[in-house]
């Protein structure tokens, strides 16, 4: 079966947020990740694969293509074994229980992807983002999540309003506040992470109920940590307390 020019054009359009929003679809590359999205209940619109993978049902959504054709469709320098188009899932309710991660205008796709992967590792399945946070269906984000986006609900909303309404303590990471190693961390909370360069916006910062910081060596030159690193350290501390209390 040939890959048509229309196929190529359509897939390339999905690199852009405008078209992902219009079609409500996104692209996942690599059979391992595609399988994770199918298992998680995402509906594949089309799957292009270089072989008939085990577990891949034969139906009209599947097209077996050759590696050269996959290269024409792929966003990657080194394409994997398959590429799929999925429908975006609608999430209508905002989370209000357990541990929730909130991102205020995070911009870097690699950071968001890594944060989703790390959140999933530590059992955090809900991420609430400000409307200006990078789109989680951006191909670079999907790639960096290594399939874990299938397992994490990412919602975009008015973050100020969400934080005002949610009935949970809001923890924000700063360069001063309470030492996270010495702070009692609850099992239910919102953990707020700011933009890579500018941190948390003042209007959002006002809604934080607990300021924490990650201790730094006295002789360190570093003024801050990368956003995904700070998130990982905070999630690790929350997860550890949860685990030890069990």
Q: Which residues bind a copy of itself (CB under 8 A)?
A: 36, 40, 110, 114, 117-118, 120-123, 144, 146-148, 150-151, 181, 214-226, 228-229, 232-233, 236, 239-240, 243-244
Q: In the bound complex, what is the minimum distance in angstroms from residue 3's beta carbon to a copy of itself?
A: 28
Q: In the bound complex, what is the minimum distance in angstroms from residue 9's beta carbon to a copy of itself?
A: 26
Q: Is 193 helix (H, G, I), strand (E, B) or coil?
A: strand
- What are the backbone angles phi and psi of residue 28, rounded to the nearest 5°? -125, 135
Q: In the bound complex, what is the minimum distance in angstroms from residue 144's beta carbon to a copy of itself?
A: 8
Tokens 């059979």 — which residue?
31
Q: Which of 29-33's residues contact partners 24+ apart within 8 Å by CB, and which partners?
A: 29/74, 29/75, 29/76, 29/79, 29/80, 29/82, 29/83, 29/84, 29/139, 29/142, 29/143, 30/80, 30/81, 30/82, 30/147, 31/56, 31/80, 31/81, 31/82, 32/147, 33/142, 33/146, 33/147, 33/150
49 vs 119, beta carbon nearer a copy of itself: 119
Q: What is the separation of C-alpha 160 from the centre of its chain, rounded to a whole number of angstroms?
A: 20
9 vs 246, beta carbon nearer a copy of itself: 246
The per-residue DSSP string of 2-69 comes to PPPHHHHHHHHHTTSHHHHHHHTEEEEESHHHHHHHHHTTPPEEEEEESS--TT---STTEEE--HHH
Q: In the bound complex, what is the minimum distance in angstroms from residue 122's beta carbon to a copy of itself?
A: 6
Q: Is 213 helix (H, G, I), strand (E, B) or coil?
A: strand
110 vs 169, beta carbon nearer a copy of itself: 110
6 vs 244, beta carbon nearer a copy of itself: 244
Q: In the bound complex, what is the minimum distance in angstroms from residue 239's beta carbon to a copy of itself?
A: 7
Strand order in the sheet with 62-64: 25-29, 82-87, 44-49, 62-64
69 vs 148, beta carbon nearer a copy of itself: 148
Q: In the bound complex, what is the minimum distance in angstroms from residue 150's beta carbon to a copy of itself?
A: 7
Q: In the bound complex, what is the minimum distance in angstroms from residue 233's beta carbon to a copy of itself?
A: 5
Q: What is the DSSP letter of 107?
A: -
6 vs 221, beta carbon nearer a copy of itself: 221
15 vs 236, beta carbon nearer a copy of itself: 236
């Amino acid at each position: 079966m040939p890959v048509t020019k229309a196929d190529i054009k359509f897939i390339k359009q999905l690199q852009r947020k405008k078209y992902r929003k219009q079609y409500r679809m996104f692209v996942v590359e690599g059979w391992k990740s595609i399988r994770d999205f199918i298992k998680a209940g995402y509906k594949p619109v089309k799957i292009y694969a270089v072989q008939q993978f085990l577990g891949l049902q034969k139906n009209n959504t599947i097209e077996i293509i050759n590696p050269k054709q996959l290269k024409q469709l792929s966003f990657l320098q080194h394409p994997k074994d398959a590429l799929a188009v999925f429908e975006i899932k609608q999430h209508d309710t905002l989370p209000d229980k357990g541990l929730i991660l909130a991102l205020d205008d995070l911009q870097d796709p690699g950071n968001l992807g890594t944060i989703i992967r790390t959140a999933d590792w530590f059992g955090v399945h809900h991420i609430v983002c400000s409307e200006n946070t990078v789109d989680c269906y951006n191909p670079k984000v999907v790639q960096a999540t290594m399939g874990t986006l299938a397992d994490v609900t990412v919602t975009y909303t008015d973050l100020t309003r969400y934080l005002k309404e949610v009935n949970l303590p809001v923890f924000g990471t700063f360069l001063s506040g309470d030492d996270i190693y010495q702070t009692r961390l609850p099992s239910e909370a919102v953990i707020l992470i700011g933009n890579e360069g500018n941190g948390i916006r003042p209007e959002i910062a006002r809604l934080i109920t607990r300021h924490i910081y990650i201790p730094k060596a006295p002789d360190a030159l570093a003024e801050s940590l990368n956003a995904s690193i700070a998130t990982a350290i905070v999630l690790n501390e929350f997860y550890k307390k949860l685990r030890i209390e069990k």
